[in-house]
Structures are given as structure tokens and as C-alpha cells.
């Protein structure tokens, strides 16, 4: 299967959504949630999350090769913001994800 950045981004967002939800609900994942968590691949090939994605005007600064990932990046930022208890926590989450761009890499199954 060819590497698809958009699908990887969607899978990562869903895994993060599930992880946050499980944390809030303080429970173990069901089979569907385990499957979603298992699709998390990190952000090693998704340097787009380093770009500004706070408002529509930021899209103009994105490269043509990354523009399809603008909307999912906005979604990711909103998801993390919604589950963060403070601006400081949000920044810490985003810094962690951004650091993973440099430390994560694709490993075949």
C-alpha cells in the first residue's frame, strides 16, 4: 500500500480523539477504538503540522504539496485545544507533536 499522507493524518487525528476521549471517560478502549489507536503512525512524514494553521489566511503560506493537509491540521489543532485544560497544556501538546516530526519515522509493518 502506498504511503498516503492525508489518510495518515486522518488516522492520527482519530487516534488522538479516541485517546483523549478514553482519558476523559477513564475507561479501556473497545475493539473499534483499539483499531483506531493502532492506526496512529506519528507525524514523522507530516511536517505540515509545523506550519501555522490558526486561520484561513495561513493557508496562503502553505506549499502546494501540503495544502491538502491544511484543513486536517486545523482540525488537529482544534481537537487538541478542545481537550487541553489551559493554553500552557495546549502549547505543550503541540510542541510534543512538532518535536515528533523530527524524531518519528516511517517503519513498514
What does the block give as the cell for 70?
A: 491544511
pLDDT of residue 3: 63
Torsion-angle region of 9 (φ positive above 0: left; ψ -120 to 50: alpha; else: beta) = alpha
Quote the DSSP letter at residue 56. G
* Residue 17 near residue 77, CB atoms below 8 Å: no
pTM listed for this prediction? 0.88
Given this model, what pLDDT does residue 77 score?
Answer: 95
pLDDT in tens, 27-86: 999 999 999 999 998 888 888 898 999 889 999 999 999 999 999 999 999 999 999 999
* Domain locations along the chain: 5-103
pLDDT at 107 over 80: no
- Of the candidates 81, 86, 11, the one whose C-alpha atom is nearest the C-alpha of residue 46 is 11
Query: Residue 91 and residue 109: Cα distance in Å, rounded?
Result: 32
89 backbone dihedrals φ, ψ, rounded to 5°: -65, -40
The span from the CA of 54 to the CA of 74, in Å, is 7
Amino acid at each position: 500500500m502506498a504511503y498516503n499522507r492525508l489518510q495518515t493524518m486522518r488516522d492520527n487525528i482519530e487516534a488522538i480523539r479516541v485517546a483523549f476521549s478514553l482519558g476523559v471517560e477513564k475507561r479501556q478502549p473497545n475493539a473499534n477504538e483499539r483499531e483506531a489507536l493502532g492506526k496512529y503512525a506519528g507525524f514523522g512524514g507530516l511536517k505540515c503540522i509545523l506550519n501555522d494553521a490558526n486561520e484561513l489566511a495561513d493557508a496562503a503560506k502553505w506549499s502546494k504539496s501540503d495544502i491538502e493537509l491544511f484543513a486536517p491540521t486545523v482540525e488537529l489543532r482544534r481537537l487538541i485545544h478542545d481537550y487541553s485544560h489551559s493554553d500552557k497544556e495546549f502549547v505543550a501538546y503541540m510542541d510534543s507533536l512538532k518535536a515528533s516530526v523530527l524524531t518519528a519515522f516511517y517503519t513498514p509493518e
